[in-house]
């Protein structure tokens, strides 16, 4: 019996993606330090992406724009255009799909490719990676770094730890060479290890990825349970998960939406408006997907993340629903039960335990069919004429965020 074919998995990462898209669109900025940030006009907001030239001045992603400008006063600052970034990302996906049909997005600027079956058509893994780099650069102006190995987790670390830091931007991580290549690296560089976990590992005498890989598994599971085994498997490169196109859609277990508010909301009257807008968004997404939820979840947070406040609670409904008012009634009930009156900066609503909306529970009271028809009509108007073509009156109040949110994708301007 023939042995199974060894997989060849790539992780392709777009360098400084948002900033690279802007430089491709504005050749006049090609040799200037450039960042994409929240609000250039007010010199406020967070750095979403910094080009390599900006990084040479010490500018980093997620720092405040004001701090970045102090490091580099001649910084070019551009407001994000999320619709354009999504368009370019989809274009890059199409390029990847010309080499293999097994392409799985990991984020807007990272994607896994299984090229095991493509080698006989396009050459060695190195050759495929170089062809991908050349085609993406030619068609979009984006520079792609590629990590290559025999599983997703190793290809991810091959890209993050090695390919991003070497000329050429391509690195092949061979399993038999892990003790020489991966294991000497500091444990904080390992995928899924953040600053807090790093401190815990240091206290256990684990300083390198190799230390973690060679730690007895029972010692890790005793400390962290299944998460300890996950870390041990990552360090050893044990990952049999396939590269699965559209896997996130296939595995959807809930539909939710959350909103970071522009200021602290302190009254129920204000929060009620936001909850209604969130429930309308969640209900609409359910209806678009032909789904209903049996469980409604609500959560909120304050602005001080060092001293967190808020709650997250859920409740089971008598019948599954995608009707905005029914989701809203449950959300209000949860909020009244659990909100302690402290200022709120972030609110979220979700439905889960999903069912097809073809399974309708008849009720003796109320007119659910009429409500469904009304909401389908408003959904159709918004789809054709835009999110603000029809609004609830509450959204016109000062607390309403629907009009401002319609200008954004993922919290950033389109």
Rounded to whole angstroms, the Cα distance separating 141 from 111 reads: 17
Q: Give the closest residue to 149 by CA, choosing from 181, 120, 121, 187.
A: 181
> Could you tell me if 402 and 388 are in contact, meaning their C-beta atoms sit under 8 angstroms apart?
yes
* Count of CB atoms situated within 10 Å of the CB of 259: 18
Residue spans of alpha helices (H) in 178-297 = 178-181, 195-203, 209-213, 217-224, 226-236, 247-250, 268-289
Mutual orientation of helices 268-289 and 324-338 as an angle, nearest 10°? Answer: 140
Give the torsion through C-alpha atoms of 99, 101, 105, 110, to 10 deg. Answer: -10
Active-site residue numbers? 110
Rounded to whole angstroms, the Cα distance separating 257 from 289 reads: 15
Residue numbers belonging to the annotated binding site for Mg(2+): 13, 109
CA distances from 27 to 31, 77, 414 (A): 9, 15, 21
Radius of gyration of the chain (CA): 24
Classify 2 as helix, strand or coil: coil
Q: Give the closest residue to 234 by CA, choosing from 220, 250, 244.
A: 220
Range 362-365 contact pairs with CB under 8 angstroms and sequence separation of 24 or more = 363/319
Residue numbers belonging to the annotated binding site: 13, 109
> Could you tell me if 207 and 167 are in contact, meaning their C-beta atoms sit under 8 angstroms apart?
no
Beta-carbon contacts of 208 under 8 Å, excluding residues fewer than 6 positions away, are 183, 184, 185, 186, 187
């Amino acid at each position: 019996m023939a042995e199974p074919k060894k997989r060849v998995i790539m992780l392709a990462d777009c360098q400084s993606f948002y900033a690279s898209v802007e430089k491709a669109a504005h050749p006049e900025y090609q040799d200037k330090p450039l960042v994409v940030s929240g609000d250039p006009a007010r010199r406020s907001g967070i750095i979403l992406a910094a080009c390599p030239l900006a990084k040479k001045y010490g500018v980093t992603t997620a720092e405040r724009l004001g701090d970045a400008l102090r490091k580099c006063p001649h910084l070019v600052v551009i407001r994000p255009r999320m619709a354009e970034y999504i368009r370019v990302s989809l274009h890059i996906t199409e390029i990847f799909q010309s080499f293999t049909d097994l392409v799985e997005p990991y984020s807007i600027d990272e994607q896994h490719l299984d090229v095991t079956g493509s080698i006989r058509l396009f050459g060695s893994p190195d050759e495929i990676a170089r062809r991908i780099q050349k085609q993406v650069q030619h068609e979009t102006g984006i520079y792609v770094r590629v990590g290559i190995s025999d599983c997703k987790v190793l290809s991810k670390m091959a890209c993050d730890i090695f390919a991003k830091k070497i000329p050429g931007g391509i690195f092949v991580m061979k399993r038999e060479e892990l003790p020489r290549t991966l294991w000497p690296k500091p444990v904080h560089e390992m995928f899924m290890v953040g600053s807090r976990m790093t401190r815990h590992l240091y206290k256990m005498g684990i300083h390198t990825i190799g230390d973690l890989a060679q730690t007895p598994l029972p010692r890790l599971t005793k400390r962290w349970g299944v998460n300890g085994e996950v870390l041990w498997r990552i360090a050893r490169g044990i990952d049999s998960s396939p590269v699965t196109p559209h896997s996130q859609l296939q595995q959807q277990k809930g539909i939710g939406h959350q909103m970071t508010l522009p200021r602290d909301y302190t009254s129920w009257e204000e929060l009620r408006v936001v909850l209604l807008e969130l429930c309308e968004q969640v209900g609409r997404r359910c209806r678009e997907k032909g789904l209903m939820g049996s469980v409604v979840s609500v959560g909120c947070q304050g602005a001080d993340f060092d001293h967190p406040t808020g709650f997250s609670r859920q409740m089971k409904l008598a019948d599954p629903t995608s009707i905005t008012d029914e989701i809203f009634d449950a959300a209000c009930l949860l909020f009244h039960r659990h909100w302690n009156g402290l200022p709120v900066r972030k609110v979220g609503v979700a439905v889960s335990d999903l069912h097809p909306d073809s399974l309708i529970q008849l009720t003796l009271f109320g007119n659910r069919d009429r409500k469904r028809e009304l909401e389908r009509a408003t959904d159709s108007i918004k789809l054709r004429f835009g999110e603000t073509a029809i609004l609830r009156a509450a959204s016109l109040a000062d607390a309403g965020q629907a009009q401002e949110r319609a200008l954004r994708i993922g919290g950033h301007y389109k």
